[in-house]
Amino acid sequence: MADVADLFDDWAAALARGEQPDPLGFIHAAGDRGDELARLMDRYLRTRPRADPDPETVELARAWIAGEAPLFRLRVRQGLRHDDVVDAVMTEFALEARQRRAVKRYYHRLEAGQLDPSRLARPLLDLLARVLAAPVASIIAWRPRPLEVAPAYRIAPDALAAAPLRQAASVAREPEEDDEQVRALFIAER
C-alpha cells in the first residue's frame, strides 16, 4: 500500500504537467486510505484556480456532444484523409502492404469510437499525436461513446423459412483476417 501523501503528490504533479491522470487508479493504490486520498483530491480541485480550456479541447468537446468522433474532427482539421493516417501508420511501423486492410479497419473503428484510445500502443499514440497535431492526453481523453440500443423484434418462424438464400449468402462470406501485429498496435495489452 502506497503512502497517501506520495500518491497525492504524484497525482497533483501529473495535473500540473497538463496530464489527465485517472484519480481512481490513485485511490485504488491507497488501499484502505482511499477515502482520505479522495477527500484531498476533491479539496485540491475545489481550491485550484481554473484555467480556461484551450480551444482544441472546446472543439473536441463540441464534436463529442454533437455525436461526431473527436478523432475525425482532429483529422479533418489537419486536412487529412482517412488514407493519409493509414499511410502514416504503414510507414512508421514498416508494415507490409497486405496489412493495410487491417490498419484501415482498426483506424476506422478507433475514429468511430468503437475502440478505446487508452488501449493504443504508446508508439501508435505518439504517431497519432504528431499526425493529428494534438496532445496525447487529448487523444486518450475521448472515450468511445456508449452504444445506443434500439428495440429488438423476434422473427416469426415462418419468416425464416422464406430466407434460405440470405442465410446461404451470409455463410459464404469470408471472415475478416485479424493481423496480430496490427491488433497489438490498436489494442495493446496493459
Residue 134 shares a structural domain with residue 107:
yes
Q: What is the pLDDT of residue 167?
A: 47
Residue 39 shares a structural domain with residue 89:
no
Across 47-55, average pLDDT: 78
Across 117-129, average pLDDT: 91
Secondary structure (DSSP) of the chain? ---HHHHHHHHHHHHHTT----HHHHHHHTGGGHHHHHHHHHHHHHHSPPPPPPHHHHHHHHHHHTT--HHHHHHHHTT--HHHHHHHHHHHTT--GGGHHHHHHHHHHHHTT-S-GGGS-HHHHHHHHHHHT--HHHHHH-PPPPPPPPP--PPPHHHHHT-HHHHHHHHHSPPPP--HHHHHHHS---
Residue 13 shares a structural domain with residue 65:
no
Answer whether 177's CB lies under 8 Å from 105's CB: no
Position 102 in a domain: yes
What is the value of pTM for the model shown? 0.57
Kindly state the percentage of the chain with pLDDT values over 70. Answer: 77
Residue 12 shares a structural domain with residue 29:
yes
Residue 26 shares a structural domain with residue 74:
no
Across 38-61, average pLDDT: 82
Residue 91 shares a structural domain with residue 38:
no
Across 163-176, average pLDDT: 45
Position 163 in a domain: no
Residue 78 shares a structural domain with residue 132:
yes
Q: What is the pLDDT of residue 116?
A: 85
Residue 80 shares a structural domain with residue 124:
yes
Domain assignment of residue 42, given as a range? 4-47
Q: What is the pLDDT of residue 135?
A: 81
- Which of 140, 137, 123 shows the shortest CA–CA distance to 185? 123
Position 107 in a domain: yes
Residue 18 shares a structural domain with residue 75:
no
Q: What is the pLDDT of residue 88?
A: 97
If one counts the domains in the chain, the total is 2
Residue 109 shares a structural domain with residue 93:
yes
